[in-house]
Amino acid sequence: MFDLIIQAYKKSENRILFLDYDGTLVSYTKMPSEANIGEDTFAILEQLSMDLKNSIFIISGRDMGFLERQFTGLNVNLIAEHGFRIKEIKKSWVILPNLSLKWKEDFKKFFQGFVSMMPGSFIEEKEASIAFHYRNIDKEVENKTLPFIKEKIKEMMTDKPDLEILDGNKVVEIKKTAYNKGTMAATILKRAPYDFILAAGDDVTDETLFRELKNNAFTIKIGSGNTLAKYRIDEPKKLMTFLSELINVA
């Protein structure tokens, strides 16, 4: 199924790969802090990054500290919080300018009101966004309460057109509309004439990436659900198997 990608990879001279983290390079865990990169995955990325034809960007919703810890020693570029920050190889972190974050406190207080009501849920506060995780709550509680939460969020956002809600995999996140994975990728692609572009991701945040790349890239959706991606892989392990094949044909 992926023969076309492999052949294009083999023939290309200037490649770029955009890879999401959770649900793509690693499987989901009960707690985000437990989703550490495995040795095999690290080794595959290391080999890919050693190829001078490759530029690898880990493009994730994770914060910069987490990504630095996971990818220390790898020759890869890091994009944190859906494009809010970027750290290129041998450079410092760069932040998007002129973005007010005063709005975060209202949503933090809102989510705090539900944490005690929904055992297993918790708040993740990032530098430029706030997220409410509900992966570990009772299914009946989720079905009963979550629609109410999402409706209230929409009401809170009626006078805030510069904010958006990301309805991810068992997480609701609020961030500015000024940036996303797609806009960040578009900015990077303007720098050089890449003859091979690959993007892989698993949830709604990655759809902005797939949409931006359109017909100019090989896009891969990890898991089920509607997608704009051209290809689909069941799980992270199978993606890593595929990426290891690229190493062998280079």
* Spatial contact of 208 and 184, defined as CB atoms under 8 Å apart: no
Burial label for 82, CB within 10 Å (0-12, 13-18, 19+), is buried
CATH domain 104-176 topology: Alpha-Beta Plaits (3.30.70)
Residue indicated by tokens 């995955």: 41
Query: For 35-45, what is each residue's pLDDT tens digit?
Result: 999 999 999 99
Average pLDDT, the chain: 94
In 77-217, the DSSP E strands lie at 77-80, 85-87, 94-95, 122-125, 130-133, 163-167, 171-176, 196-201
Residue 29 pLDDT exceeds 80: yes
Query: For 125-140, what is each residue's pLDDT tens digit?
Result: 999 999 999 999 999 9
Q: What pLDDT score was predicted for residue 1?
A: 66
Query: For 169-178, what is each residue's pLDDT tens digit?
Result: 999 999 999 9
d(CA 236, CA 249): 21
Q: Decide if 195 is catalytic.
A: no
d(CA 201, CA 217): 13
What does the domain layout of the chain look like in residue ranges? 3-96+179-249, 104-176
Q: Write down the CATH number for the domain with range 3-96+179-249.
A: 3.40.50.1000
Domains 3-96+179-249 and 104-176 share a fold: no
Identify the band that residue 216 occupies on the pLDDT scale cut at 50, 70 and 90: confident
d(CA 75, CA 169): 29
Among 3-7, 46-50, 214-218, name the one with the lowest average pLDDT.
Answer: 214-218
The stretch 239-243 carries a mean pLDDT of 96
Query: Residue 169: which of 208, 206, 125 has the closest Cα?
Result: 206
Q: Which of 3, 20, 22, 195 is catalytic?
A: 20
